[in-house]
Structures are given as structure tokens and as C-alpha cells.
A = this chain, B = another copy of it.
Amino acid sequence: MSWSVISTWKMSLEGNRKAGRILESHGTAGDAVLLGVQDVEDNPAFHSVGYSGLPDAGGHVTLDAGYMDGDTLEFGAVGCLEGYRSPAAIARSLIHYPYNNFLVGEGAAAYAENHGFEKRDNLTKDSAERYLRERNLNQTHSSYKGHDTVCFLARDEKGTIVSCTSTSGLYLKEHGRVGDTPLPGCGYYADSTIGAAAATGVGEEIMKGALSRAVVDLMAQGMHVQEAADKALADLKERLGENIRPISLIAMDKDGNTGVSTTLAFPFCVAKEGGDTELYLAEPSETGITSIRKIEDPSELSMD
């Protein structure tokens, strides 16, 4: 069996390479996705995840993350967590408990403190300045900037599939707002016997469709991974109408084949056994089948 890893946005390029190297060295899907997500969490250039994430309307950088092991369906998640380096690592650690797998706010921070997770003030000078500038411009949520969740799906050579997500959430969100990212079935899902999916975009729209579970359900019915991603998004589009807000989906079947669907131009990264990480651009097409092309030069894409 062969390994495979897919991740959202150009910002995950280096993380995807790291995840690929873990998998190439016979590492686990769990270690691969966490390392991939952490590469983005730690990079202050990206203002939608982890360090230098944009603050909420109360000035707090609050982070959401989710992790699911497709062998056992065990998951861990944190929401509205402030002051820690890696919400994804904390989410992953929570899968080891029979209960209390999703913790939010002060309770999540207390758990992280008691378990010795690395602290970090994620509000940087840059993100604070951006927040003040944008707020003063009276920007609305309708801007898509900063909705960009990092999502990784990986399959290791043993066939285990894992999903992992991390975000600072909706642009200029209210304090206490939690999106799809830490919610099993909405922002991510993984079942090693079927496949996995994860979502980025407007969390409130993704949650209306419980979209990650919808993609996996379609694969369970025998649909090809690309077709399942396109159909799950098309079904929600049909239901919500033309005003559906931005959503992008990544998916993987149990054999490590990947699929993507999106309502707008969406860069993503894939590495597979025997190859290096490649950057792709997905775009919606009139046919309903997502158009995908390889980007040879990452600098060609202006977006993260």
C-alpha cells in the first residue's frame, strides 16, 4: 500500500513536503499531518492560522483545531483556545481520552496548561496592526481574506488515514465564535475503511451541509473520490442557491487517491509515494467537474 498526503492552500506547501518526508520514511499518517499543520501554525506570514493569526472582534487570537484517526474514528478538538503554540497538537492529544474530546475556551486552556503544552502569544505586531487597519476600514465578513483553514489528510503505508485542521477562524469573528474546523463531520472526517475529507472557506456554510461527512458518505456508496467531492458541494450549492459562500473541499479515498472541489480558485498541495510535493490550482468549471492544473512555479500564484 502506498502513502499519500493532500493539504489546503499554497501556504501548506512546505508543510506538505515535511509530511511527505515523514511518510516516505515509513512514519505514521498522524505524525505527518501534525507536522504539516504545525509548519503553517508556526509561520507568521499566514494570518489565518496559529502564530500571527488575526484577532477576533475582542482583540483575542482564538484558535480552533481538529484531529481524527480513521482507524478508530477517535477525534480530538479544541475551540476558541488562546495562548498556545499548536492547537492541532492539543487536539491530537485529546483522542486518547474516552470522554471530553472537544474542549473550548478556558477549559481547553486549562487542559493545555495541565498537560504542559507550549504557550505562545499568537498576537503579533503585524496581526494587531492588520486588525486595527481592517476594523477601521469597516471591513465586513464578506471579504474572503483570512478564512483560510489549513487542512491535511494523509494515508500512511499501513493504510491509516488521518485528518487534521487548524485555523484562527472567521475574519473579524465575534469573541467565542467557533467554526467548522474543530467539528467532526463538518470541518473534517476520516474513516480508514472509506476515506477522508476536510473543508476550508466560510465555516457557517460548511456546517449547514456537515460537508466532510457528506463527502465520506458518498464514497461509502461507492462514488469515486473526485466525484464525491464534486457531488457533495454541488448538492449543497443546489440547496443554498447561487449565493452560496466560498467553500473548498479536499478528499482522499481509502487507497490514497485524492479529490478536490471548490466554489472559487483554490490552491492545494499533494505528495504521493515516489514523488515530491506538487502545487495545484483547482477551479470550478461549467461541467460541474472541478478543473485542476499543476502549478510549476509557486510564485505564479499570488494567493496563499
Contact = CB atoms under 8 A, between A and B. Distances in A.
Interface string A56-76: 101000000000000001110
Given A176-B111, A186-B184, A207 B104 contact: no
Interface residues of A, number: 50
Contacts of A302: none
Contact of A208 (B56, B184, B186, B210): B184
Given A107-B80, A183-B186, A214-B217, A102 B208 contact: no
Interface of A is mostly: mixed
A178 interface: yes
A212 B213 CA distance: 10
Interface stretch (A167-175, A267-275, A285-293): A167-175
**Copies of this protein, total:** 2
B107 A177 contact: yes
Nearest to A170: B99
Contacts of A221: 221
Nearest to A235: B220
**Pairs of residues from A and B, 5 with the lowest C-beta to C-beta distance, nearest first:** A107-B176, A185-B210, A105-B105, A210-B213, A73-B208
